[in-house]
Structure 1
Amino acid sequence: MNNSPPPAASSVPMTEQRSYPAALSVVTAVFFIWGFLTSLNDILIPHLKSLFSLNYAQAMLVQSCFFGAYFIMSLPAGKLVSKLGYKGGIVAGLLVAGMGALGFVPAAQGHSYYTFLAALFILASGITVLQVAANPYVTLLGPERTASSRINLAQALNALGTTLGPHFGGLLILSAATLSATQLAGLPSAQQLAYRAQQAHAVQGPYIGLAITLFVLAVIFWLLKMPSLINATEQGDERQHGIREVLAKPHVLFGVLGIFAYCGAEVSVSSTMVNYLSMPEIGGMTEQQAANWVSYFWGGAMIGRLVGSSLMLRFNPGKLVGLFALVNVLLLATTINSHGMIATISVVAIGLFNSIMFPTIFSLGIAKLGSMTSKASALLIMAIVGAAVIPYLQGRLSDHIGVQDAFILPLLCYLYIAFYGFKGSRVK
């Protein structure tokens, strides 16, 4: 999921307007890695569900732990970056994420689902620090006039990471055939233990590789010479605004709910997709084949972002978000009421129309706020916790009414986003 806000306004001394291509290359690699790690959860969920014989609600705790870290750790991450600076914050984020990835080793060896969840929380905490530090930092690694170009390049690498993550995750984690709960229960105890050990270690290797990559990037970044940066400051009225005062602006309140609904809907759909496409009446695919379709889902979001940015030059952004949300409502209605290839294509196509939603809802939510912008931005980032709450609720729903019918929950989320785009985003 691309959940990076527009960069905060920052300043840099006039003497520091030269470019830093080496530093920019490392930072864009950071964007790629956190996109890769985020979408890899969509592959981890069906694997752990099978490994630990979980129901859907229990399996969705993967996303609850991962995105819950955004809510819990955003403010501490901001304080850490303020203390260490952007460069130090990025290094710290990479190290924390690397330690979280290494946590998959004891989790696999101990065959403990809750240890996996703890490792994911640590990993996501590191990514939260990266989010806070890397977005504004990349805008400072060169002349101000090309700042937008640099942030777009970095976000393109993030989208590429979310596209490739499920594909490689499918190859490395889901390549071995999995047994159903009934098949596993029919095996002797010794064979059950051997099977669970084999499946657990399938996760261990990829995350060790990711941990090494994160640690290497941290060392490289620390050794690079960086420009002297001046922390972002708000212009104009510098008095402190309370949360109630900011949320009293309707477009901010509706925007916070919009980010909550969008992140929840996007992650609910992507997290359920492997299990959904593996159903005989839908795709009848192996989990590895279904993982490739998850890549198409995220690839559609990457393509849609490129097309959508052009469309927003011609059309009202709010109305465009509303229109895209209504298209996703129709796609989900088709997903719920169809089978076979129609159901497969309709659920994957949702990614294409997700593309512009997060950045556009975010920018509409902070429109014309002046000195309230920083506080509103923090509230919008914290609303990413929707990706921790709504997937869990969809998991509970899937356990009671089935995976296909449970798509009614993200459908309702997109209906709200349509309301926000057409009406709720208006500044009063």
Structure 2
Amino acid sequence: MPVDFRGDANAMAGQGTEPGRHRGALAMLATLFFMWGFITVINNTLLPHLRSVFDLSYTQTTLIESVWFIAYFVASIPSAKLIERIGYKAALVVGLAVMAAGALLMVPAAKIPSYAVVLTALFVIASGITLLQVAANPYVAVIGPPATSSARLNLVQAFNSLGTTLAPLFGGYLILGRSASGTAEAGAVSLTREMRLADAQSVVLPYIIVAVVLVALAFAIARYRLPALGGPSRPAAAERKLRSLWKHRNLVFGVPAIFIYLIAEIGVSNLFINFVSAPEIGNLTHEQASRYLFLLWGGMMVGRFFGSFLMRRVAPEQVLAVAAIGAFVVTTVAATAGGSLAMWALISVGLFHSIMFPTIFTLGIRGLGALTEEGAGLLIMAIAGGALVVVQGWIADACGLQSSFLLTAACELYVLFYAIWGCKPAATPGDVRVGEAET
């Protein structure tokens, strides 16, 4: 059951008016957004490494990321129930502890080495991140005036983007840069069993470092006096029963928009290193390709700042439509061209993808009134769409890696449809727009 935070926002509205009152709490929470963005994108350098170590097909490689996003679907509702039982602060500490346990599980996974244990470890890490997502996003929104909640969320999300931008450098240096498969040119080295076993050990140090940082952060949050939140005040059940989520076109089409967009984003980032290192594209080692992945995620960070500025003057659905057209063009070029043109086309996708998730989410809950929380819950669960990246892995095995990005281009077309028509709220008597007063 989605959790309502409207009462919390009202309870905290007066507290957030004092300048800088919650600056320390926001700084602490920003580190959480940084860490889960950082750890999530380490996967982008981990996947080509594991593909070499375990001699995986593209389908098996993308299955690793599918397991990651299945955790979002499985753990989201239990996370909400846990928060109701133990509170936000304790939930943040538990989430960090779970992530640290998953990171340490990567050590025996590398020592054995075992593909199944790797999948288990990543599922545990992703479950911890899900708990942080469910707790931290609404917490940031309610520790100050409701009028500035978007500004606060954008601020900490920028730190999430910083984490995703720096992670490829970390993974490229400590994982790909310390393995035979990562430093060899594509197809230049046929790894022996001994070389694969040696390569597997390169994940031990980075994940031990990650686990130590997570434990230290959990201890810091446990000791930090985060502002307390007021009790929730959900809309009356009778009132909510009179309204239907399915009468809101923007939500009905918004849930699959989030789902489909995640297929596109995760497919690009997970197969990026294999794509740009191919002889006919960039002819790079995996370590060198990870530096270009830095540009992909950096483009998302820049695009998020620019998009936020642009949407003050231009309707968000118009910005989303332009971004979808741009993403369709560059992914089509990446799927059909060759050499540096295809490589830079795929790199530029990050710029166009940057504003898609938050914009679709905002448009999806527009006009839901008393049903906003339920609608938001459905949109969050749609993040599980990232699990279907395995479909692109199957296409890559069957038709070739480059051709698989035509699936990404098709996903961009649905986002364009949503921006042009699907996001328009249907006239539903009795409901109100987000931001309007409810009576």
Q: Would you say same fold, with TM above 0.5?
A: yes
**Equivalent residue number for residue 44 of structure 2:** 42
Answer yes or no: is 1:230 the counterpart of 2:215.
no
Instruction: Give the secondary-structure state (helix, strand or coil) at the position aligned to 2:180.
Output: coil
Q: 1:373 to 1:207 in 2, by over 3 A?
A: same
Deviation, 1:245, is: 3.7
Residues 205-244 of structure 1 mapped to structure 2, 5 A cutoff = 205-235=205-235, 239-241=239-241
Answer yes or no: is 1:393 the counterpart of 2:397.
no
| Segment drifting more, 319-328 vs 21-30 | 21-30
After superposition, the C-alpha distances for 1:170-216 in whole angstroms (9 at most, x for unaligned) are 1111013317789546x4xxxx2x32222111111111111111111
Residues 364-379 of structure 1 mapped to structure 2, 5 A cutoff = 364-379=363-378
Instruction: Give the secondary-structure state (helix, strand or coil) at the position aligned to 2:87.
Output: helix
Answer yes or no: is 1:406 the counterpart of 2:404.
yes
**Equivalent residue number for residue 4 of structure 1:** none
Distance 1:143 1:224 in 2: 22
Deviation, 1:35, is: 0.5
What TM-score comes out, normalization by structure 1 length? 0.92
**Equivalent residue number for residue 175 of structure 2:** 173
For the Cα contact (< 8 Å) 1:50–1:181, is it kept in 2? no
Distance 2:151 2:45 in 1: 32
Q: 1:88 to 1:274 in 2, by over 3 A?
A: same
Q: How many residues align?
A: 415
For the Cα contact (< 8 Å) 1:16–1:227, is it kept in 2? no
Distance 2:414 2:302 in 1: 24
**Equivalent residue number for residue 125 of structure 1:** 127
Distance 2:358 2:231 in 1: 23
Distance 1:21 1:290 in 2: 38
Instruction: Give the secondary-structure state (helix, strand or coil) at the position aligned to 1:166.
Output: helix
Residues 59-138 of structure 1 mapped to structure 2, 5 A cutoff = 59-138=61-140
Q: 1:312 to 1:232 in 2, by over 3 A?
A: farther
Distance 2:406 2:365 in 1: 29
Q: Counterpart of 2:423 in structure 1: which amino acid?
A: S
For the Cα contact (< 8 Å) 1:66–1:124, is it kept in 2? yes
For the Cα contact (< 8 Å) 1:321–1:360, is it kept in 2? yes
Identity, in percent, stands at 41
Q: 1:384 to 1:143 in 2, by over 3 A?
A: closer
Deviation, 1:236, is: 6.9
Distance 2:146 2:370 in 1: 22
For the Cα contact (< 8 Å) 1:87–1:222, is it kept in 2? yes
Distance 2:277 2:286 in 1: 6
Distance 2:88 2:338 in 1: 49
Q: Counterpart of 2:30 in structure 1: which amino acid?
A: T
Which structure 1 segments of 5+ residues have no match? 1-6
Residues 328-343 of structure 1 mapped to structure 2, 5 A cutoff = 328-343=327-342
What TM-score comes out, normalization by structure 2 length? 0.89
Distance 2:319 2:119 in 1: 37
Q: 1:104 to 1:238 in 2, by over 3 A?
A: farther
Q: 1:415 to 1:369 in 2, by over 3 A?
A: same
RMSD: 2.2
Q: 1:379 to 1:14 in 2, by over 3 A?
A: closer
Q: Counterpart of 2:398 in structure 1: which amino acid?
A: H
For the Cα contact (< 8 Å) 1:32–1:160, is it kept in 2? yes
Distance 1:146 1:372 in 2: 21
Distance 1:130 1:422 in 2: 33
